[in-house]
Amino acid sequence: MSKASVLALAQELANTQASATNLDQFYDDVVKDVAQQALFNVIEIMDAPAGQAVYVKPDRTSQLLGVFFDDTMLSLVTLRELEATRPQWRDSVGRPVAYLIEDLGHDEFQLYPAPVTTGDPVVPVHGAPFGLDYPANTIAVLASEIREDMPDWLDLPLALIVLSREFARPSPHMDKTFAAACRQLGTLFLSMVA
Amino acid sequence: MTVAAGVLVDQVLQRVRDEHATGTSRPLVRDLLTHCQRLINAKLGLVIESIEYETVAKQCVYPLASVVPRALRIVGVQQGNRDLVEVKWQEFWYLHRAWLRDTGQRLENFALVGRDMLILYPAQPEPRTVTLRCAVTTAPLTSDDTPVEAPIEFHPLLVDLATVVGLVRQRTYLTLPELTESIKSRLA
């Protein structure tokens, strides 16, 4: 499985005409794009210090699918909704009921209101962080995961999409028709698993 | 009735007009058939395994890779002789905003978040055994004698998928639109 097998398959399908360096780079780009489709996801617990409203998503995650505070799934709200509800919303502290991603860095989200108490630490007594060990008043984030090593059942669609990019770029071996055919097939195959 | 991979390899080579495998090797065609068989199984759930799994007390979220490493997708979950109802995971929010920590006397629903996260709702106070019915990763077709696991009625689709990739590799596009449309209609 993994990047090596995708790149080997891509070279085989390209009759070894593709640039190995570019295939490598395009693979990294494609897995980031695939992460947007939320095929692979993670849920992670984050520290929640009292009074802190803005948080950074966990590493290697892309699309934010859900945010939990303690046991409650928070609503995604817009800046306009918050301003309409309470103009001084940025100063609010209490038990978070919503989160916001507008007007923040691409990897940030903001809780409303900011937590009034610091969340309990994760103490791995039972080895079940989302079971008996789940800490009180903490944040859990559900997000799509950017994986470098995809499962091997994705090798063919990934190889085709990588090839479509390699043969669409200006180069001595540029072939727009081949690139379009690879893109069409790669997209079709990816839709079979998405 | 089982069909050996070699039979399908011959069909693909014939359709890409390379019967003697001069431009497209037999191992490459077997490799393409291996990938296509897995994609078909991910889409249609043809090769299924039932796996007994013990849930964790008070937990409803399970990463699938650690539960069933070979799973392509979950097609059903049973507790005893009862089927859990599949729902979209986003619907739990409407049911109860604290669904992540809800506990109940018996499991009612399951949901998938993407391909690799399983939610069993509500969490149980004690560990329970469930049966996961999974479409699994089919074995690689390593030789012409390896049996094809997909049912025989899906072999034409499998051959078409491998053929279309073979034709693109040869940069032969004449029959491509027709073949692709035919594949799409059968997958719909």
Asked if A38's CB is within 8 angstroms of B114's CB, the reply is yes
CB A156 within 8 A of CB A189: yes
Spell out the residues 6+ positions from residue B50 whose beta carbon is closer than 8 angstroms to its own: B131, B132, B133, B134
Interface contact A193-B39, CB threshold 8 A: yes
pLDDT in tens, chain A (194 residues): 589 999 999 999 999 899 999 999 999 999 999 888 889 999 999 999 999 999 999 999 999 999 999 999 999 999 999 999 889 999 999 999 999 999 999 999 999 999 999 999 988 888 898 999 999 999 999 999 998 888 999 999 999 999 999 999 999 999 999 999 999 999 999 999 88
| pLDDT category of residue B16 using cuts at 50, 70 and 90 | very high
Cα–Cα nearest to A30, from A56, A49, A8, A3? A3
Measure in Å the smallest separation between the Cα of B116 and chain A Cα atoms: 6
Please give, rounded to a whole number of angstroms, the shortest distance from the CA of B155 to a CA of chain A: 17
Helices (H) and strands (E) in chain B, counts: 6, 8
Q: How far is CA B128 from CA A38, B62, B124, in A?
A: 29, 14, 7
Q: Tokens for B84? A: 């859990």
Chain B positions touching A67 (Cβ under 8 A) are: none
CA distance A36 to A63: 6
B26-44 and A176-193 helices cross at what angle (nearest 10)? 40
* SS3 (DSSP) at B180: helix
* Chain A CA closest to residue B166: A13
The Cβ of residue B108 has, within 10 Å, a number of other Cβ atoms equal to 15
Residue B78 tokens read as: 């049973």
Give the best residue of A176, A185, A187 to mutate against chain B (max B CB count within 10 A): A185
ipTM exceeding 0.95?
A: no
The answer to whether A144 and A34 have CB atoms below 8 angstroms apart is no
Asked if B42's CB is within 8 angstroms of A188's CB, the reply is no
Q: Beta strands A139-145 and A61-69: pairing type?
A: antiparallel
Is the separation of the CB atoms in B121 and B92 below 8 Å? yes
Q: How far apart are the C-alpha atoms of B118 and B96, rounded to whole Å?
A: 18
pLDDT classification of B146: cutoffs 50, 70, 90: very high
Interatomic CA distance for residues A170 and A114, integer angstroms: 50
Rounded to two decimals, the pTM is: 0.89
d(CA A163, CA A167): 6
Which tokens is A54 given? 């803005």
User: Are B58 and A132 inside 8 Å of each other by CB?
Assistant: yes
Which residues on B lie below 8 Å from A68 (Cβ)?
Answer: 100
Q: Do B173 and A9 touch (CB under 8 A)?
A: no
Helix ranges restricted to H, chain A: 3-13, 20-35, 79-85, 155-168, 176-193
Task: Give yes or no for B150 touching A (CB within 8 A).
Answer: no
Q: Which of B114, B115, B171 sits opposite A178 (nearest CB)?
A: B171
Q: Which tokens hold the place of A176?
A: 């727009």
Query: What residues in B contact A188, CB-CB < 8 Å?
Result: 180, 183-184
Selected residues 66-105 of chain A with any CB under 8 Å from a CB in chain B: 68, 70-73
What are the phi and psi torsion angles at B177 (to 5°)?
-60, -45
Positive/negative CA dihedral, B101, B106, B109, B113: positive
Write the burial class of residue B96 (CB in 10 Å: 0-12 exposed, 13-18 middle, 19+ buried). Answer: middle
Cα B30 from Cα B27, distance rounded (Å): 5
Give the Cβ contact number of residue B146 at 10 Å: 17
What is the rounded CA–CA span in Å between residue B58 and residue A94? Answer: 26
